[in-house]
Amino acid sequence: MKTAIHSLRAYNFFYFSLLSIFISFLPVYLSFREITPAQIGILIGAGSFIGILSQPFWGMVSDRYKTIKRVILLTLGLSIVAGVLLFISAPFSALFLLVGAMYFFLLPTDPLTESLNFRIAEMRGISFGSIRTFGAIGYATASLFIGWTIDRVGMEQLVWLFLGYGVLAFLFILIVSDAPASNKKLSWQELKQFFLYPKTLRFFLLVLIAATPHRTNDSFLGVYVQSLGGTTGDVGQAWFLAAMSEVAFFAISARILNRWSEIKLIMIASALYTIRYFLCAIVPSAGWVVYLQLMQGITFVIFYTATIQYLYKIIPEEWKATGQTVLAVLFFGISGIIGSIAGGWMFQQFGGAALYLAMGTCSFVALGYSIVLWKSKGSMGGVGS
């Protein structure tokens, strides 16, 4: 049992290291290729649209064939191929195709991995955070190492870093145990009822509002840091601090979730998101923006783990993998489209500070809506009690 858990933790470490290259450094890489902020926004927005289609697709494949591991092997393997082609200085005409391929294969691997983590944690009687913490450590260390390395060897060498992390992730997932499949028969009628239930719709709307500024930050943090005079190393440090703060909060997430209700945690996270983005908008230098990423743990981790726990309370057992991917579609797909396209336009027209002011305002709206749901009895199915 210990070997299986250690293998899963190692896979999380290297998979999220790989994901850090794509999420943290893709905008920086595109900027290096002389792509404008508006064009970067369109590229990432188009990729996020592809993610909207691909994430439910792969989640339903997983539910249909009652396997998570084998689907991850397929999506991760194809991601490695697409990523290598993307980072070997592909011509501009191929960028849309290759970025789209990454969103079709690599991004859906994230919710599948989270589902695998959650199910195995349940089966082994351990906390989700004790596994997911290693993903956060991988994301943190890779961000710092890659930013430092690229500053010294050049952006052209990013492909070798991507390949190395990808191969290691693939090797470890090969030896990870598959998650137990539900024996319940899949019911399309139950799924339809779930998604049309007002409680579910209110929950997903709240996720969308709160996730949009978060995904905007994912897309433009690196570009914003560099626009304030920061280096690629500073970008790596920003993502390192963000991910290390995630490590700390994933480690204590189980205790926090046991003490506070999900809606209250979402309210707290939304309030802190608001403060974080407003501060990013008014600080005088890149260094301040870098250190403000320490708030990532208490914002993202608290928000995301609370939403996962709430989702798993209300969705039928046989549709958990699909429900996880729908949550990912909102968090990483639809919100990514809005954040990247609108964010890229705003960044180019009005500058990064104006963009972060808008992000803070959106987080404030999420805070207000979460308060409304908390005060409305039964609107979140009692989780706000």
Does the residue 383 lie in any domain?
no
Query: Does residue 118 sit in helix, strand or coil?
Result: helix
Predicted pLDDT at 383? 38
Pick from 49, 27, 51, 29: nearest CA to 38? 27
Does the residue 242 lie in any domain?
yes
Domain span at residue 268? 2-180+188-375
Does the residue 228 lie in any domain?
yes
Does the residue 295 lie in any domain?
yes
Can you give the pTM of this predicted structure? 0.71
Does the residue 114 lie in any domain?
yes
Predicted pLDDT at 291? 93
The residue ranges of the chain whose pLDDT is under 70 are 1, 89-90, 180-197, 314-325, 377-385
Does the residue 382 lie in any domain?
no
Tell me how crowded residue 172 is: count the other CB atoms within 10 A of its CB: 19
Number of folded domains in the chain? 1
| pLDDT per position as a tens digit, 115-167 | 888 888 878 878 777 788 888 888 888 888 888 888 888 888 888 999 999 99
Q: Which DSSP symbol is given to 331?
A: I
Tell me how crowded residue 161 is: count the other CB atoms within 10 A of its CB: 20
Predicted pLDDT at 147? 84
Does the residue 236 lie in any domain?
yes
Predicted pLDDT at 385? 37
Does the residue 385 lie in any domain?
no
The answer to whether the CB of 236 falls within 8 A of the CB of 357 is no
CATH of the domain at 272: 1.20.1250.20
Tally of residues, the chain:
385
With vertex at residue 38, the alpha carbon angle to CA 32 and CA 39, rounded to the nearest 5 degrees, is 60
The answer to whether the CB of 241 falls within 8 A of the CB of 295 is no
Predicted pLDDT at 324? 66
Predicted pLDDT at 88? 86
The answer to whether the CB of 206 falls within 8 A of the CB of 373 is yes
